[in-house]
Amino acid sequence: MMKNNILLLLFKFFILLNSALILRPFCSVAADLSYEAAIDRLIENGSYIATKEGRDIFSHNADQRLIPASIWKIATATAALDTLGRDYFFKTEFFEDSDCNLYIRGHGDPALISEEINLIFQAIKQKGVSEINNIYLDSSRFETAQAAPGISRSL
């Protein structure tokens, strides 16, 4: 019991120490600069906060055109789960032609990461494929000319 209390105390001290070390540069920035200059230095791109009713509380670089943040991945994943369901699997199709070319047609699988691709190529090799001349990615399932709000063009 005493050992657990000591470990908990050390953990709390470690958290407090790290918090102080992390916040120190921000405190000195705020002390040396005006409020607006401190925000410019701390918020590199932009920020916007509004009430539930849509009344602006805070905005910084609100008119600057930016690529949407990665936070949108959470909203996209939530919408996909609600729409497709928990048991839905994205498919990825593989084709070969007589010239030993490999064609890969993806359907948006967010779990298709490099480690999975490595496993797929190992499985292809085990099936007896020993030569691949070219690999072609078929992106015909996706619209290529997409523009995110706030920018003229995005990938």
Domain ranges of the chain: 1-32, 89-138
What is the per-residue pLDDT across 77-109, written as a single tens digit (0 to 9) for each?
Answer: 888 889 999 899 888 898 899 999 999 998 888
Q: Round to whole Å and give the CA distance between 127 and 26.
A: 57
Average pLDDT over residues 34-63: 72
Q: Which amino acid is it at 76? A: T
**Tokens in use for 48?**
């916007």
The answer on pLDDT for 1 being more than 90 is no
pLDDT band at 30 (very low <50, low <70, confident <90, very high): very low
Distance of alpha carbon 7 from the chain centroid: 35
Check: pTM over 0.75? Answer yes or no. no
pLDDT score for 150: 59
What is the residue-averaged pLDDT of the chain? 74
Percentage of residues of the chain with pLDDT beyond 70: 59
Q: Write down the pLDDT at residue 147.
A: 62
Q: Are 45 and 61 in contact (CB under 8 A)?
A: yes
Cα separation values, 12 from 17, 18, 21, 145, Å: 9, 10, 14, 51
**Average of per-residue pLDDT across 23-52:** 62
